[in-house]
Structure 1
Amino acid sequence: MSRAAAKLVQSELDRLVTLIEVSRALTAELDLQEIIHRILEGAIRVLPAAEAGILFLYDPQKHALVVNHAIGFDPRVYELTVKPGEGLSGRAFLSRRAEIYPHKHEVKAVMGAAQPMNLKTFQEASGGTDYPQSAICAPLVYKGEALGAMVIENFYRPEVFQPFDVQLLDALAQAAAVAIVNARLYAAEHESRLRLEALNDEIRSQRDQLERRLQVQDSLAEVVQDDLPLSALATRLARITHASVFLSDALYRVRACDTASPASTLREADMAAWTVLQPLLRQAAETRAQMRLSPEGNRELLISPVSAGPETLGFVILDARHRKLDAVDSAAADSAAMIAAARFLRERALEEGEIRRRGDVLERLLNGDVPAGADALRQAQVPLRLVVGTLRAVGDTQHDSAPRVLRTMLALTQEKLALDGPVTVALKDGHVVAIQSLAGRPTGSEESLAALEQAAERLKALAPEWRAVYAVQDEVAELTGLAPAHHEARLAIQLREKLGRAEPVFRVRSLGAYRLILQAASGADIIQVCQTTLRNVIDHDRRRGSALLETFRVYLDAGASVSAAAARLRVHPHTVEYRLERLQEL
């Protein structure tokens, strides 16, 4: 054997050894992208004449071969998309045979039929070369299925590839196909395992949540079955959610909490700034939906409204300082709100029953009749003190909360005055009316006034948008004097506003000479005189649809000012003057 032949044989043996090493490396790798990179690198190693190469893999969604890796090309080569049968790679993919193209004209004969856009992209990516001088290509086939194709090229020299090179590339392509299939199987199995683990985690999470939900329902059901107080409800909810719990009524009064707290209202509780918390409470009341707030760090507040139909009766608030509240916590808060709603409604029913009972007692006392019963007798012992209270809104307050605030005012009045002796407190025509016996007590005692001031201050703290006003009568010596005293006190509250006085508690006798006007206005004779005098005016307004009497009333309210009355009535001052003249004529 000549030296040249021996050298050729040794070169082929070395390349075969390199092919074996590359094939082993491919089959040992399970990362698909790493395998794709190693395929072309291995081809360049076993084919010394190779200057560039492209690895195409078939994309079932595009029904085309796409570039997965390239060596010796500009990045624009990755824009190539080749149909099966198109170009060198497409032909090898379709025929499933390795091919050699020793000369440029042979390469051109196959590539020339490709899409013009692909030819332009190839030329730009190859640095201006339209067709390589020589090339070989081999399909990646596994068990008869073509996975892609590999093309190795030389841009500048023809006839650089030999039949042995085709065999080497074909063998490398088959090893690469096996490695790609293994990697895809491994990736699919790994993905399935991850999905299975995620599914198992989700199942465990759902199971844990279900167990917690059952524990929540069992624990809260005991509160209902055993008729436990609100404090027990708060304690159990705190144990379930690992959060601090506050139960409040609609006026933000704390009705129960899981631990001892000096706060009597939510405003005083250490949860969040009141300017931030109060709007959320109002939004929860309006929407009857849960609200969340994260004041700081990992701390989270969950507000669940206690609702009954369209009305919000209060709130359940969870204050989690070191964890985020989940769906189970949210459901537990809603369940607790339903239990609290039933409790609040029951309390209201009892309260309204008591209010009606007191109202009956009050009505009989105002009529001069003493109800039967020892308590009623004690409360009706003359002399008596009569107090009339009402609410006044601050600014442009929405008045839908007035009934609830009025009931609170009733409870506060009862609570404060009861400390000073037996008292009957009830609602009458939108006013709080209290009758308290002064028998056996020193004359001129100011304790009741101080108690009423405390009640007014307390109501201001609970409902800042409302103010309580109390009119306190002098001692009433006989039961028959209660009715006129009650009427006079109600008129005194109205007069107090006309006089611009702002104190929450005042004695009716402090109005001085104005009290004589009230007493005169309360008499039946003066009422008869007014009706007789104004009969023609009333008849005129009824027949003509005019507003003479209303204009006169506004004129008096405006301090006998024609311009001020015109502004209030939104008419010209001459109109007011004409109406007053016409009234005087009638």
Structure 2
Amino acid sequence: MNSFSLLLEKLQEWFDDQPFSIWFQFSRDRHFRLIFSSFHESATAITLAMTVPLCDNDAGHIRYRYETLRSQQMYRFFYANDGQAVICLTHKAQQQVPLTSDQWELLWFGIRLLMEEEKMRAKAEESKKLFEGIRSISATLDVHQIIRGIIGNALAVIPAADAGLLHLYDPTIDRLLPKATVGFHDTVFKDLKMRVGESIAGKVFEDGIPRLYKTSQETTHAMRDISADNFHSLNHAKALRDLNGLLCVPISREEKRIGVLVLHQFHQENVFTEYDLDLLQGFADQTSIALQNAELYDEIKQAYEHLAAISSQLQAKHDDLIQRNHIHEAIKQLSLQNKGAETIVKTLNKMTGHSIYFADWLEQKMYPEKSVLFFSWDELYILLNKRRQPVSLNLFSPASGADQLFCLYPLINGSIFLGCLVIPLDERGLSDLARMTVEQGSAVLILDLVKKQSISSVLYKRAHDLFQELIASKGNELFDRARSIGLQPQAKYYVVYAHLTQCQDLALLEANIHRLITRWKWEFSKTQMFVYGFHNHVTLLIRPLGSRDGNDIRDRLQQASYEWELGKEASLSIGVGSMASGIEQISKSYEEAKKAAHYLTNRSRCGVIHYKDLGVNRLMLNQSQADIEAFIQDVFAPFWQDPEKYEEWEQTLITYMKCSQSPQLTAKELHIHVNTLYQRLRKVEELLHIDLRNPEDLLKLQLACHLRQEG
């Protein structure tokens, strides 16, 4: 049997089964609370409606006393600093029930035991909530959930409180901001921004001193300096007219305050005590630990995420390096196996999943073969010659009626444009892996082209030696050498000698020679030919197939010279020798072609010239340019001593020679009278000390005028 049951048994015995009720008032209670009633259910409403008059606890003098009122009898017990207890009998009691001193003492001790048990239950609940708060700190890292749980536990063990707010300091705006609440509407988070020193929360944060207010008047007075906006925000979240008390404690981390924890009393009957204030400080300390743990967790989480990101990047780079290595090895094997451009391009198509085309600029050939050239060779050269990075551009397609996006990867070896990779793109574009594959393939293609060019240079050297041996041979040796390179002894041949100038870059010169030879192989593929390049010139031995082939050959050679001038990489001077009837005359045609080409070169001219078209200039082929210029200087020197004075006479002489010494044509060309022409010519004779009727003087003047015009 527990103490409460024993007490009830004694009361029923001593009160002769008369109905009674037991009321407690602890030190924090504003009113008495009903603990037990033995009235019938029908009378419960009457019992609950009963009130116990308050009485000052003067336990220092008395421990208990009997009181009687008009409607009830009361046995009142006093407990220093703990409260009071009252046993009530209603007016239905027939007479006073007297108690002996022992009975009073026994009841006093019995009730004290009950009150202590009640206090122990409250302490147990406090401990339970405190332990729950401690467990919550380590059980979860959700800061909002932990803080709400701590506020909830504080409200559970501090019965006088029924709402709570947690404010944290934000140094960026120098304000206390609500971060968690119980009992307030969520609108409080939107507008409430408390200054340091403002109202109760601001003052506690400022000086770190906890504050306790037990009445509405005390609380209102302490909040008198709150701003209108903050008051409106708080009042909107919870009606402040019902605020009867308040507890506020600082939240600190070591010596630094980081916020405040506030409990409010709106409807509870109890009053706040100093013990409540100490208890709330314990919850505030838990909150500080929870916040610190959360910050540490966030730091660790960020560090972990950063480490994970770095690890992911390293893994991606590792995977990328492995893929690059696989791709490089695969393409390198193609190069080592001499698979050629065609196989390399097909492999790139398979590895990237894109249609890739290779435009070989030097040989002006597309891979795969018979592929459509989306751009002209001139367009590719203009777009990519000076670039090192890929170029993206749109090209209108008449077939589809829409734009097609292309990516062009230039292939450059030093300063030499070798060609490009042409990649039609869709909306997906090129992935990083595809781009990496194309870059690796580009490098291998460049290597393949350079290797092919080096091999060609060796073959050209061999062809040069064979041709030089051919033109130096005679008799049976000549026929043997001609047959060894596929020439027919009685066939007719032209020798073409192309001299490349104004190209200081030797690698670029070699590339231009290779490109010219490739072009002529394609241009004259239907005729028998022998072609090679050596140093700065290209020699072409070609057999015409018909009577019109001579003019056709000249036209094609002229077109090649014109295109080279547009490219501005080199100047092309082409000489064509006389047609050789039989292999015995090839050496003669070669010398003529060479002289014709050098004739253009010495005069810094490009184009095509046949040896037979040189005319009188053949006599000057062995003369240096300096000798020719000296001869012209000797003839025209008298005119140049005073150019302004003799300019008209000089122009008259040049026009006279141009018009084949015809007075009528010369006068017409100069728009002067014939008599005026005769007068000028006599003055020219006097100045130059010549006689225009002397054949030797006339020839000297004609030659000087011709050489001057040619220069």
Whole-Å Cα distance in 2 between the matches of residues 106 and 331 of structure 1?
Answer: 73
Within 2, Cα distance between the matches of 1:180 and 1:320?
54
Q: State the match for 2:203 in structure 1.
A: 88
- 1:413 paired to 2:520: yes
- Give the drift of 1:421: 1.7
Where 1:534 maps in the other structure, the secondary structure is helix
User: In the alignment, is residue 162 of structure 1 matched against residue 272 of structure 2?
Assistant: yes
What is the Cα deviation at residue 383 of structure 1? 3.3
CA distance in 1, matches of 2:553, 2:485: 22
Q: Which residue number in structure 1 is paired with residue 634 of structure 2? A: 536
Question: Greater shift after overlay, 243-252 or 43-52?
Answer: 43-52
Query: 1:446-461, aligned counterparts within 5 Å?
Result: 446=548
Secondary structure at the residue paired with 2:441? helix
Matched, 1:445 2:445: no
Instruction: Check 1:295–1:99 CA distance in 2 against 1; reply closer, same or farther (3 A cut).
Output: farther
Contact 2:499–2:574, Cα closer than 8 Å, also in 1: yes
Q: Residues 296-342 of structure 1: CA distance to partner in whole angstroms, max 9, x if unpaired?
A: 9xx99765543333434333556675866555554544443333333
Tell me if the contact between 1:386 and 1:434 (Cα under 8 Å) persists in the aligned partners: yes
1:521 maps to 2:617: yes
Q: Trace 1:194-205 onto structure 2 (pairs within 5 A).
A: 194=305, 198=309, 201-205=312-316
Distance in 2, matches of 1:582 and 1:368, equals 55
Instruction: Note if contact 1:384-1:475 (Cα within 8 Å) is conserved in structure 2.
Output: yes
Contact conserved, 2:168 with 2:260, CA < 8 A, in 1?
yes
CA drift at 1:137 = 0.4
Q: Check conservation: 1:245, 1:317, Cα contact below 8 A.
A: yes
Aligned to 2:32: 5
Partners of 1:149 and 1:223 in 2: CA distance: 74
> Are the equivalent residues in 2 in contact too, given 1:423–1:434 (CA < 8 A)?
yes
| Structure 2 spans left out of the alignment, 5+ residues | 1-21, 25-30, 37-47, 49-117, 235-239, 397-403, 660-682, 689-711
Q: Aligned partners of 2:629, 2:255: CA distance in 1, in Å?
A: 114
Name the stretch that deviates more: 380-389 or 346-355.
380-389
- What per-residue deviation string (whole Å, max 9, x for no partner) do you get for residues 160-215 of structure 1? 96338757855764675576567657656765665565455445433422321331
Equivalent pair of 1:388/1:433 in contact (CA under 8 Å): yes
SS in 1 for 2:338: coil
Give the letter for the 1:89 counterpart.
Answer: V
Q: For 1:497-576, what aligned pairs fall within 5 Å after superposition?
A: 518-524=614-620, 534-537=632-635
Residue by residue over 1:9-56, the C-alpha shift from the partner in whole angstroms, topping out at 9 and shown as x without a partner, is 99x999x99x979x8998887543465578779989999998997523
- What SS class does the counterpart of residue 423 from structure 1 fall into? strand
Is the Cα–Cα contact under 8 Å of residues 575 and 594 in structure 2 kept in the other structure? no
- TM-score, structure 2 length as denominator? 0.50
Aligned residue in 2 for 1:340:
445
CA 1:312/1:184 → structure 2, altered by over 3 Å: closer, same or farther?
same
Give the match for residue 217 of structure 1.
Answer: 328
* Residue 413 (structure 2) aligns with: 308
Superposed CA offset, 1:119-142 (max 9, x none): 78x45433599x999642034479
2:155/2:161 contact within 8 Å kept: yes
8 Å contact kept, 2:595–2:621: no
> Structure 1, unaligned stretches of length 5 or more?
113-118, 394-399, 499-503, 510-514, 561-580
Closer/same/farther in 2, CA of residues 427 and 220 from structure 1, 3 Å limit: closer
Aligned to 2:247: 136
Of 126, 132, 140 in structure 1, the residue corresponding to residue 231 of structure 2 is 126
Greater RCO, 1 or 2 (C-alpha within 8 Å, sep 6+): 1
> What are the residue-to-residue correspondences of 1:53-132 with 2, within 5 Å?
55-57=166-168, 68=179, 75=190, 77-78=192-193, 80=195, 87-90=202-205, 94=208, 99-100=212-213, 122=227, 124-127=229-232
What is the alpha-carbon distance in structure 2 between the residues aligned to residue 526 and residue 186 of structure 1?
Answer: 94
Whole-Å Cα distance in 1 between the matches of residues 217 and 458 of structure 2? 106
> 2:357 maps to what in 1?
246
TM-score of the pair, normalised by structure 1: 0.59
Deviation of residue 217 (structure 1)? Answer: 3.2
Deviation at 1:150, TM superposition (A): 1.7
Correspondence for 2:494: 385
Match of 1:435 in 2: 541
Q: Match of 1:227, SS?
A: coil
Return the letter of the residue paired with 2:579. Answer: E
Q: Is the 8 A contact 1:291 1:302 kept in 2?
A: yes
Contact 1:139 1:146 in 2 (8 A): yes
Q: 1:350 is matched with which residue?
A: 455
Call closer, same or farther: CA 1:137–1:451 in 2, change over 3 Å: farther
Counterpart for residue 579 of structure 2: 475
Query: 1:90, 1:525 → 2: CA distance?
Result: 107
Structure 2 CA distance, aligned partners of 1:530 and 1:143?
104
